[in-house]
Chain A
Amino acid sequence: MMLLTCPHCGARDAGEFDYVGERRDRPDVSRATEQEWRGYLYLRGNRADWTAELWHHRAGCERFLTVVRHLGTDEVRG
């Protein structure tokens, strides 16, 4: 299991966290086309590269945090 560093709790086992998903910006609901909105809902980059993700420290402080992780190597940028 990976270690993730929670800004509130320090380095913790990834098992304490829920993976929410890649971080993505919510389109403006008043203007979003179906294509934009469905992209926001369903399309993920999933590149073997540095990716900003949302994780939830469920078994800790319950904070949601952005983790920048390399999806090829599991390295996490501090």
Chain B
Amino acid sequence: MRLPPQPGEAIDRTTAFTFTWDGRSYPAYAGDTIASALAAAGVRVFSRSLKYHRPRGLLTADFHDPGCLVQVGDEPNVRAAHRRVEPGMTVRPQAVWPSLRWDVKSANQLVGKALTAGFYYKTFIKPRPLWPAYERVLRRFSPGGEVPAEPPDGRYDQRYAHPDVLVAGGGPAGLAAALAAAEAGLQVLLVDEQHELGGHLLWGDDGDRAALRDLRGAVAAADGIEVLTDAVVTGRYDGGRVVVLQRSAPGVVERLVKARPRVLVAAPGLIERPYVVAGNDLPGVLLSTAARRLVNRYAVRPGQRAVVLTANNSGDAAVGDLTRAGVDVRRVLDARRGDDVVRVRGRRGVRAVECSDGSTVACDLLVTAVGWTAPTSLLTMAGGRSRYLASAARFVPADLPDDVLAAGGIVGDGSTADLVAHGRAVGHEAARRARGLPPAHVADLEPGPHPELFHGRSNGIVDLAEDVSADDLRAAVAEGYDSIELVKRYTTATMGPTQGKLEAVNTIAVVAAATGRSIEETGTTTGRPPYVPVSLGVLAGRRYQPVRRSPMHTWHVEHGATPLVAGAWIRPDHYGDPAGEVCAVRQGVGIIDVTPLGKLALHGPDVADLLELLYVNRWRKLAVGSVRYGVMCTEDGVVLDDGVTGRLGEDRYLMTTTSSGATTVEHWVERWLQTERPHWQVHLVPMTDAYASINVAGPRSRELVGRLTDIDLAPEAFPYMRVRLGRVAGVADCVVWRIGFTGELSFELHVPAAFGQRVWEALLEVGADLGVRPFGVEAQRILRLEKGHLIVGQDTDGLTQAYGAGLDWAVKLDKDDFVGKPELAWQRARDDYLVLVGLQPVDPAVVPPESCQIIEDGQRIVGRVTSSRMSPTLDRAVCLGLVAARLSEPGTTVTVLLPDGRRVPVLVMPQLAHVDPEGVRLRG
């Protein structure tokens, strides 16, 4: 029920709206969480528990509440007690069938004995073939939401931050620490999990609110404090990196902030611990902080009649808040005087509480305040430890590294003024350390006395998210799982959505009691990042991967090119008729955009030595004005890349690489220069984007290019494998080389990128009468396959050494040294490798798909088809393939296994080239 306005309420009563829950409309105010609006409307059951399908309501009324994971639209596992409700929001309960009210699976409650400790392992382990069926059943019973099949709307983002000090936690100590560090002139990132700064002061009394007003005012006025609310530190990693998940960042669904503070201040406060007693998971059992939040922040009266079990001032304050809210507090059980709850009665919610004095009090609310858990996982991730302090009934931080400090409640207890004073002292010290000063000791805040209250005399639920009871833990211990880490894995306690925040210490306490050891001896489980669940979307972040387009890209799009994604590049695959494009090149002339070819300018007196080292073939005698095809191998002799490199001047070369190998080769060259030959004078400049590259191919290519350039293209003036510099279509500083990847007479033009489209269009315009056609990557692949030119990475793989790629002619073992030389020398003496050969299916109409296996004796794999196409020039299928060396003799018939199971005979050809093996055409 909604109370009249409260002095510290978070809701804005001037903005009212409705949303739907489980198909029905409910009212809400701006500032409500989903759960607070529903609780105000009297909703008590939010979910069904994991194993027993028991009804679950609010417990902590904050982000970590295990009982109210809901589905919002297509977003699963939303924390209903944290997420603010929005107008028109569609909220549904998760995994309840047929409805939240009549969940048939709650029959599990009756057969609960079958679902005790280790039930996943015992029930579903055998017989193994039934696992798929088990998985389907388990999935129906698990309370996870529905993951949408489509990518979610909205963006996820990532950001880097470099604060001097990062303060995790915006309660009184964290606010004071941030202020002290900022006053020292440092940049501070202040992160808090709640929607507003203030920590527990937000639901406190008048004095708390006054103190909070002052602190928030000071933070707002301070220079150098960036505040992230609704944001959680999810982990601390090597090198002091702190990752923050920011939920309410403007414009994005979630943002991951990767911060590298000099000093981390952890001021997370304390998490209230549930009490383990029979019925402790019934709707109506609330923690004292939850009751105070509901009353003071959301003006919600959580029940009519209450019993309060209190062991501390939070419970005492809850009594006051509940009374003021009109709740009839029927009994206050003071655990400091030995009072206790024996069990909670009820089926769909609390109906009565049995007290330790033998009385039973009818009520619909049990509020417990039995102690605190210090969330030390961030500190242990940073290399610190946690130490159990029996007098305070909680773990406290110990042995922190110098760049991590803890402030406030996680360290000890005190008044708001004490917490602020401690925060200030820690913030001041953090500023000193961020400046590199030697660490000084900060006086600790002493933890006050607190009774050790973990579990009562009856069997209650320890892990409310995973539905693990105290008896389950005891059973696991009895079965021999006596280490806390084993109990955790066997029972799944602390492994659910709450990840130990509520239940870890109770788990330890139950296991300690069952094993007869102390809590200290039992120890803690290891807290690992992330502290809270992180969506896959935010881990992926927004992709800023650049897409690369050639200067002629727009032209290709406008002329009907079918795009092909080739690494980062978008290339024209074809313009509608790849076979026609092939014929145009063979019979007339075609032009292709080969801008993605890797291009590296090499300058300096030692370039020839570099080429001699990195290529398997010879380079020393390459004359100015000549180009040569080169093959690079790695040190294991495996083919790395190939391409044409030309000598443009005395000490000036242009190297081309494959499109996909451009970056690899650039790094490869740099690595050899920097690490193995640092004394060589070679300067490398990547030029891939600086030139637009156009290959003009076909018997009429000389005629076409000749119309646009002053370079003498006559065969004797510009022979095959030469380079010339000059103007093309009026564009100066073009590099033109005569090569023949397609097997035809061809000229490759490298023109300054800004003029790429101009030259491209000029070629098409002046060549119209020659029938010039643009051709795409597909036609180029057919042309080069007809010619038998290999593609590194397609016709070779990570094991193909140079001799296996049919590059015998290129490898010069008589050179003193080159990369991969010893391995290639040894390879030549062997015959245990696959060799690249030309292949033609005996049936010319059969084109075996690429990657088809070549087999022997019906099944043994002896090779594979690496490239295959129907050749428009020969009107038959042509292939390249890797086969066992002993089968590589020309005229051998091998067997190719087709995907449909057919086996077809294929002939090994005398050479790789299917068209013009003598190379007459390209030398013309």
Contact = CB atoms under 8 A, between A and B. Distances in A.
A34 B237 CA distance: 42
A26 interface: yes
Interface residues of A, number: 22
Nearest to B243: A1
B826 interface: yes
Given A13-B260, A54-B675, A56-B667, 19 more contacts: A1-B237, A3-B239, A3-B240, A3-B260, A14-B238, A14-B239, A20-B671, A26-B676, A29-B816, A29-B817, A29-B821, A30-B816, A34-B826, A62-B667, A63-B674, A64-B670, A64-B671, A64-B674, A74-B238
Interface of A: 1-3, 13-14, 18, 20, 26, 29-30, 32, 34, 37, 40-41, 54, 56, 58, 62-64, 74
B634 to A, nearest CB: 9
Interface string B621-655: 00000000000000110000000000000000000
Contact of B239 (A13, A37, A63): A13
Contacts of A30: 816-817
B546 to A, nearest CB: 13
B823 interface: yes
**Interface of chain B: mostly helix, strand, loop or mixed:** helix
A26 B818 CA distance: 12
B331 interface: no
A29 B817 CA distance: 7
30 contacts: A1-B237, A1-B241, A2-B239, A3-B240, A3-B260, A13-B239, A13-B241, A14-B238, A14-B239, A20-B671, A26-B635, A26-B676, A29-B816, A29-B817, A29-B822, A30-B816, A30-B817, A32-B822, A34-B826, A37-B822, A41-B635, A41-B636, A54-B671, A56-B671, A58-B667, A62-B670, A63-B674, A64-B670, A64-B671, A64-B674
A23 B27 CA distance: 67
A32 B824 CA distance: 13
**Interface-central residue, B239, B676, B816, by most chain A CB under 10 Å:** B239
A58 B663 CA distance: 10
Nearest to A23: B675
B675 A64 contact: yes
A62 B336 CA distance: 66
A58 B664 CA distance: 11
Contacts of A26: 635, 676
B673 to A, nearest CB: 9
A34 B636 CA distance: 11
Interface in B807-843: 816-817, 821-823, 826
Nearest to B818: A29
A29 to B, nearest CB: 5
A20 B670 CA distance: 13
A3 to B, nearest CB: 4
A18 B781 CA distance: 33
Interface in B234-288: 237-241, 260
Contact of A1 (B238, B636, B671): B238
Contacts, number: 45
A13 to B, nearest CB: 7
Contacts of A54: 671, 675
Contacts of A56: 667, 671
**Interface-central residue, B260, B674, B817, B822, by most chain A CB under 10 Å:** B822
Contacts of A20: 671
A62 B674 CA distance: 10
Contacts of A63: 674
A56 B817 CA distance: 25
Nearest to B820: A29
A39 B817 CA distance: 19
A40 B237 CA distance: 33
B436 to A, nearest CB: 13
A23 to B, nearest CB: 8
Contacts of B674: 63-64
Contacts of B241: 1, 13
B658 to A, nearest CB: 19
A50 B822 CA distance: 30
B406 to A, nearest CB: 23
B823 A37 contact: yes
Contacts of B816: 29-30
A64 B826 CA distance: 30
Contacts of A18: 667
Contacts of B676: 26
A74 to B, nearest CB: 6
Nearest to B816: A30
**Interface-central residue, A18, A32, A37, A58, by most chain B CB under 10 Å:** A37
A14 B822 CA distance: 34
A13 B259 CA distance: 11
Contacts of A40: 635
A29 B821 CA distance: 7
**Interface-central residue, A20, A29, A58, by most chain B CB under 10 Å:** A29
Contacts of B671: 20, 54, 56, 64
A39 to B, nearest CB: 12
The 7 closest A-B pairs by CB, nearest first: A3-B239, A64-B674, A2-B239, A2-B238, A37-B822, A29-B817, A64-B675
B378 to A, nearest CB: 17
Nearest to A3: B239
Interface in B78-98: none
Contacts of B821: 29
A30 B815 CA distance: 10
Contacts of A13: 239, 241, 260
A77 B447 CA distance: 40
Nearest to B821: A29
Nearest to B636: A41
B239 A1 contact: yes
Interface string B7-42: 000000000000000000000000000000000000
Contacts of B260: 3, 13
A48 to B, nearest CB: 16
Contacts of A64: 670-671, 674-675
A49 to B, nearest CB: 18
A37 to B, nearest CB: 5
Nearest to B825: A29
Contacts of A37: 822-823
Contacts of B670: 62, 64
A19 B754 CA distance: 36
Contacts of B240: 3
B358 to A, nearest CB: 59
A74 B241 CA distance: 14
Contacts of B239: 1-3, 13-14
Contacts of A58: 667
Contacts of A34: 822, 826
Nearest to A27: B822
Nearest to A40: B635
Contacts of A74: 238
A57 B238 CA distance: 19
A60 B635 CA distance: 26
Interface in B109-154: none
A23 B826 CA distance: 25
Nearest to B678: A64
A1 B258 CA distance: 10
A13 B670 CA distance: 22
Contacts of B237: 1
A37 B823 CA distance: 8
Nearest to A20: B671
Nearest to B684: A62
Nearest to A1: B241
Contacts of A1: 237-239, 241
A14 B239 CA distance: 9
Nearest to B239: A3
A3 B241 CA distance: 9
A40 to B, nearest CB: 7
Interface string B220-244: 0000000000000000011111000
Nearest to A65: B674
A78 to B, nearest CB: 14
Interface in B769-798: none
